[in-house]
């Protein structure tokens, strides 16, 4: 392994170049001309809907290999807290995409956003400020 000695000015220039390279690789929002990042307020709207209307759970079923597998599901909850119907993650994702179709005009962005929010909601990774585990599309 070789060591290279650089000055502070060279270090700052290198850091700037690396940041520019990273930004150029990210998708760009053409309207704002900057890398697209997820709006935490939109995350919190979807999270509140999920928290108010669904309860996380698991069911066991026989997988394609013949062994038991645990599958995450959600239950639609009534105002009294009673479980009305169970949904698989795929069904919940479809429901979210349809419910919040006006949140993003681009269908692909909407699908990616809802999948990420749903995954982070299932895994309790949405923080109190609406930041996700991966905060860009």
Q: Is 69 helix (H, G, I), strand (E, B) or coil?
A: strand
Q: Is 40 helix (H, G, I), strand (E, B) or coil?
A: helix
Read off the pLDDT of residues 17-60 as tens digits, 9 standing for 90 and up: 666 544 344 444 444 444 456 788 999 999 999 999 999 999 99
- What is the rounded distance in angstroms from the CA atom of residue 99 to the CA atom of residue 102? 8
Q: What is the percentage of the chain residues whose pLDDT exceeds 70?
A: 80
- What is the rounded distance in angstroms from the CA atom of residue 64 to the CA atom of residue 62? 7
pTM: 0.67
Segments making up each domain of the chain, as ranges: 31-122
Tokens of 65: 């290999």
Q: Using an 8 Å Cβ cutoff, are 131 and 40 in contact?
A: yes
């Amino acid at each position: 392994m070789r060591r290279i000695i650089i000055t502070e000015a060279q270090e700052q220039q290198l850091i700037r170049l690396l940041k520019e390279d990273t930004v150029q690789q990210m998708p760009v929002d053409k309207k704002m001309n900057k890398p697209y990042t997820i709006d935490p307020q939109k995350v919190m709207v979807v999270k509140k809907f999920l928290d108010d209307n669904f309860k996380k759970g698991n069911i066991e079923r026989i997988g394609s290999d013949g062994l038991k597998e645990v599958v995450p599901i959600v239950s639609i909850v009534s105002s009294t807290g009673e479980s009305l119907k169970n949904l698989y993650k795929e069904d919940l994702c479809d429901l979210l995409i349809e419910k919040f179709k006006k949140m993003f005009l681009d269908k692909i962005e909407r699908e990616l956003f809802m999948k990420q929010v749903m995954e982070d909601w299932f895994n309790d990774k949405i923080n109190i400020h609406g930041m996700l585990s991966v905060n860009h599309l």
